[in-house]
Amino acid sequence: MLWSGWGDPAKAADLPEPVRELLHDLLGVRAPATPAAALSEVRLPPPALPGSALARLTGAVGAEHVRTGDETRIRHTRGKSTPDLLRIRAGDGSDAPDAVVLPGSHEEVLQVLRACAEERVAVVPFGGGTSVVGGLAAARDGFAGVIALDLARLAGLRSLDAESMVAEFGPGTRAPEAERLLAGHGLTLGHFPQSFEYATLGGFAAARSSGQASAGYGRFDDLVAGLTVATPRGTLELGRAPKSAAGPDLRQLVLGSEGAFGVITSLRLRVRRAPAEKVYEGWRFASFAAGSAALRALAQQGPLPAVLRLSDETETMVGLAKPGEIGAGEPGCLVIAGFEGADVRARREAAGAVLAGHGGVALGEEPGRAWAHGRFAAPYLRDSLLAVGATVETLETAGFWSNLPRLYDAVRLTLHAELGSPLVMCHISHVYETGASLYFTVVTAQSGDPVEQWERAKTAVSAAIVAAGGTISHHHGVGRDHRDAYAEEIGPLGVEILRAVKDRLDPAGVLNPGALVP
Amino acid sequence: MLWSGWGDPAKAADLPEPVRELLHDLLGVRAPATPAAALSEVRLPPPALPGSALARLTGAVGAEHVRTGDETRIRHTRGKSTPDLLRIRAGDGSDAPDAVVLPGSHEEVLQVLRACAEERVAVVPFGGGTSVVGGLAAARDGFAGVIALDLARLAGLRSLDAESMVAEFGPGTRAPEAERLLAGHGLTLGHFPQSFEYATLGGFAAARSSGQASAGYGRFDDLVAGLTVATPRGTLELGRAPKSAAGPDLRQLVLGSEGAFGVITSLRLRVRRAPAEKVYEGWRFASFAAGSAALRALAQQGPLPAVLRLSDETETMVGLAKPGEIGAGEPGCLVIAGFEGADVRARREAAGAVLAGHGGVALGEEPGRAWAHGRFAAPYLRDSLLAVGATVETLETAGFWSNLPRLYDAVRLTLHAELGSPLVMCHISHVYETGASLYFTVVTAQSGDPVEQWERAKTAVSAAIVAAGGTISHHHGVGRDHRDAYAEEIGPLGVEILRAVKDRLDPAGVLNPGALVP
């Protein structure tokens, strides 16, 4: 993973000249004044960990698994939001952990947590490092130091219950590795978020990830049958049955807890047969409203494709056009419908009838292939845009169908009010019987301090989302960036519940301080 | 509702003479020594509520909505488990509340809870009164009194969002009334547990109910889009979107909380189009194992019928035979598959192919009609069995498919060890991709104190379920009867989470004390 951006540097996507011209002419993008810093130029705080803490950590996991080198610290600094990248590109490594600790077992995690609680060292669980909501920024105030608890050594397929279709994995397993291990058994998780290439299963669970094929396979929280969780106060073992009426579902308290309540050390996950066939196709609708109505019909009456997404007019125009032709023509709104499994043909025909019945025009498989080809590519493009002086960032929400138009308008109006004339694109990529998500991509010219510029807009748009009745996140999570809006969303008593649970499981407050819990 | 038993007294089911003979000959059932008490013979504790508390309650809800008459108190005493019925039939009204309070709004519930917290009066939320796990037995120790908070006045359909397919109901709405109100819009909840005729929507949510058509419509917890909850510390508003990554799902902490954290005062529920057609049919399998494999195939590969249940050999034999023929023939194991909706024929054919492929023999619609006709009848039959001196009770669990045989054996062995030679019947009635529920019905001759006799067996079988890796309840809940086994199931740290949440929301501990939280 590129330390200052996304992914494999070899896959960097250069911007074609017409796009650069367009950014300049339409958005007023100017090249940044200073180039990105080199790794050696990143400014790190001096390592602050007291000797006693370091000794206990090396005692727990072995000296070779406590790392304090500059590059390791930089690679565990923050996540992959645009402000994160802007800061690290500017050489700001101030949020770096003092050490990176790699436990090799559940017992070692327990030991590390106990040691950190007693030594008042903050612990930031670290999976793929792909948080885009500030979930990995270490709070230093009041702590003797900060460690990143890298779960890379707790990886792999530990057992497979083929009868129950449940597989047990270590939390540090990266998604592609999980798919490779399952493919050997003809199985899949079917979980393909945009962060797929780097994110880990533990991270998916801790942050309630949702994949691009969520309509077919469910969100990641739907896939979790059981969890083992290490806390400073001991171990939680959750999930004895698919469903239970034995009290509140405590799994649902750990899912989305973002390392603030404990560290997930094992996951029992639902697995599915790998699909025999996958077909993705495109449909065009005259408007976002017409496309939304079609998606709603599929969600409420079926048949639901495994992948179902609708781009609004702007996203369709930018996404479909060739670089030299952006703005020409009137492409309407693009729907991608993907069918996976054994009976693709029948379901495709039935879904096609619903889409056509709502005014959709079939575009065949070409747009589907193009979408599938580029499905993990957007973060690479962001690096190229940042390099030429454009800020590009994404944000998302979800709501009930009847509230989506209000949410859509609220976000767009606020972004325009805050950023002048940004490019704002939107798609629906996750649908349910009762509602859907809205995912926005914003491109704007950098002005002044680009981090401050974005954070001002982000604060306003978060408030607008909550005021319009949406949730502050459908699948990015809370972290630090959404914490205030989240408090607004769940109300003072909701916040007190979180604090009560945290106080009980983590009385010293060392687990990911500053994230999630207001 | 019959105060000393189940349902409409006019529907009482008399036992045919051959069944009485069989109970006598096979199980050694003898008529009970004493007949059931009359209503006027039930012994009630003198009302204990201090005048100050009574004044605040009447101030909150109006004098006409605070009731202290004997019959009202008796009708709010405990629930409908077999021990509950045995006790009340014996004239034991010792668990009666001092008063029954009927709030008319969310604000009135808040006022009642604040008053009770300050006056140290225990509050037992009361919906349909159908708990079978001791969820309504009032703990008196340390309290100035106990009230039943009857939610009957908070009933009805409050609003309907037809676009999002979400309906808002008051918690005291009885299930048949909810279905009647929705039918006017061509909609249904599709939630039909055995308690359907009396249970309320708030109770379904608070106890994580599961209906007979759960495979088609989902469990009740799946239907809950949003909740309003009144607590002694204020109000919780939960559920802004179908799904969210904004932290833990706090709805899942209220679902299954059984009145120990707060009182649900509003539910936003997923609704579905009322099915155009319903067809239920029977299939015979050679063994429980063969039938289980067929159900597993449907759950994992589809198509999943809306109703899907499999009776073991004993339940099939007792259920299918005419009274004079019980024990004759070898009926194997009966599967009921029910198809509801618009494309019944196609799904029925496809499911039939799977069932036949696993060795099932189609029995046509007659067994399906018989099942549908008697689907809410079992509790009536229990009253008749209790009257002749047989104890009959049900218990249930759930587990992953690979663990079901172990759970099945553990429950049966324990019941036989504890009760001599009881009749033990079992069915699978709720299936998931990863596992299923097991529902047991036990019939035994009463011996000594029948309550003690059953409670001894129940304690042993609960321990056996937890030891065998199952959950202590798939859909009955925890109440007081499962509290110890539940503590075992979630472990000491799980218990601490519950206590932390309860302490924060209900610092005086007045909410349904003794239930759920160990």
Given a cut of 70, is residue B330 above it in pLDDT?
Answer: no
Task: Check residue A19 and give its pLDDT.
Answer: 84
Cβ within 8 Å of A, B 229-268: 231, 233-238, 240-250, 252-258
Given a cut of 90, is residue B139 above it in pLDDT?
Answer: no
Cβ within 8 Å of A, B 288-317: 296, 300-301
Per-residue confidence at B336, pLDDT binned at 50, 70, 90?
A: very high
Nearest to A275 by CA among A372, A361, A376, A210: A372
A164 CB within 8 Å of a chain B CB:
yes
Given a cut of 60, is residue A93 above it in pLDDT?
Answer: yes
B494 CB within 8 Å of a chain A CB:
yes
B114 CB within 8 Å of a chain A CB:
no
Q: Which residue of A has its CA nearest to B517?
A: A247
Cβ within 8 Å of B, A 269-288: 270, 272-273
A445 CB within 8 Å of a chain B CB:
no
Given a cut of 70, is residue B295 above it in pLDDT?
Answer: yes
- Nearest chain A CA: its distance from B250 CA (Å): 7
Query: In chain A, what is the greatest distance between 2 CA atoms, to the nearest angstrom?
Result: 69
pLDDT tens string A496-511: 999 999 999 999 999 9
Letter string b/e over residues A59-73, b meaning 16 or more CB atoms within 10 A of that residue's CB: ebbeeebbbeeeebb
The CA distance from A339 to A307, in Å, is 7
CB A516 within 8 A of CB A498: yes
CB A464 within 8 A of CB B457: no
- Nearest chain A CA: its distance from B245 CA (Å): 5
pLDDT tens string A186-219: 999 999 999 999 999 999 999 999 999 999 999 9
Single-letter code of the amino acid located at A445: A
Q: Which residue of B has its CA nearest to A218?
A: B243
Cβ within 8 Å of A, B 47-106: none
Single-letter code of the amino acid located at A81: S
Single-letter code of the amino acid located at B107: E
Least confident of A33-37, A92-96, B25-29, B503-507: A33-37
- Nearest chain B CA: its distance from A321 CA (Å): 33
- Contact residues on chain A for B208, CB-CB shorter than 8 A: 244-245
- Nearest chain B CA: its distance from A262 CA (Å): 12
DSSP H helix total and E strand total for chain A: 18, 18
Per-chain mean pLDDT for chain B: 95
Taking the whole predicted model, whether its pTM rises above 0.80 is answered as: yes
Contact A493 B238 (CB under 8 A): no
Given a cut of 60, is residue B329 above it in pLDDT?
Answer: no
pLDDT tens string B455-486: 999 999 999 999 999 999 999 999 999 999 99
Per-residue confidence at B138, pLDDT binned at 50, 70, 90?
A: confident
Query: Distance of alpha carbon B364 from its chain centroid, rounded?
Result: 30
- Nearest chain A CA: its distance from B269 CA (Å): 10
pLDDT tens string B170-229: 999 999 999 999 999 999 999 999 999 999 999 999 999 999 999 999 999 999 999 999
- Nearest chain A CA: its distance from B120 CA (Å): 22
B491 CB within 8 Å of a chain A CB:
yes
Contact A246 B482 (CB under 8 A): yes
Tell me the residue length of chain A.
518
Per-chain mean pLDDT for chain A: 95
Task: Check residue B399 and give its pLDDT.
Answer: 98
Q: Which residues contact A80 (CB under 8 A, 6 or more apart)?
A: A6, A129, A130, A131, A132, A195, A379
Nearest to B73 by CA among B90, B45, B98, B92: B98
- The three-class DSSP label of residue A473 is coil
Cα pseudo-dihedral B284, B290, B293, B294, rounded to 10: -20
- Cα-Cα-Cα-Cα dihedral sign, residues B273, B279, B280, B284: negative
The CA distance from B100 to B126, in Å, is 9
Contact B252 A247 (CB under 8 A): no
Task: Check residue B417 and give its pLDDT.
Answer: 97
Task: Check residue B328 and give its pLDDT.
Answer: 54
pLDDT tens string B76-111: 999 999 999 999 999 999 999 999 999 999 999 999
- Contact residues on chain A for B498, CB-CB shorter than 8 A: 247-248
Residue of B243, B475, B484 to mutate for A, most A C-beta atoms under 10 A: B243
Assigned token pair, A374: 């580029």
Cβ within 8 Å of A, B 194-213: 207-210
Contact A434 B231 (CB under 8 A): no
Given a cut of 80, is residue B327 above it in pLDDT?
Answer: no
- Contact residues on chain B for A240, CB-CB shorter than 8 A: 399, 469-471, 489
Find the CB nearest A473 among B245, B248, B432.
Answer: B245
- Nearest chain A CA: its distance from B157 CA (Å): 18
A467 CB within 8 Å of a chain B CB:
no
The CA distance from A105 to A418, in Å, is 48
Task: Check residue A475 and give its pLDDT.
Answer: 97
Given a cut of 80, is residue A329 above it in pLDDT?
Answer: no
Assigned token pair, B205: 């949510």
Neighbouring-strand partners of residue B445? B390
The CA distance from B325 to B328, in Å, is 5
Assigned token pair, A495: 């916040």
Contact B249 A241 (CB under 8 A): no
Least confident of A193-197, A330-334, B275-279: A330-334
Q: Give the residue-averaged pLDDT of A266-293.
A: 97
Task: Check residue A330 and give its pLDDT.
Answer: 62
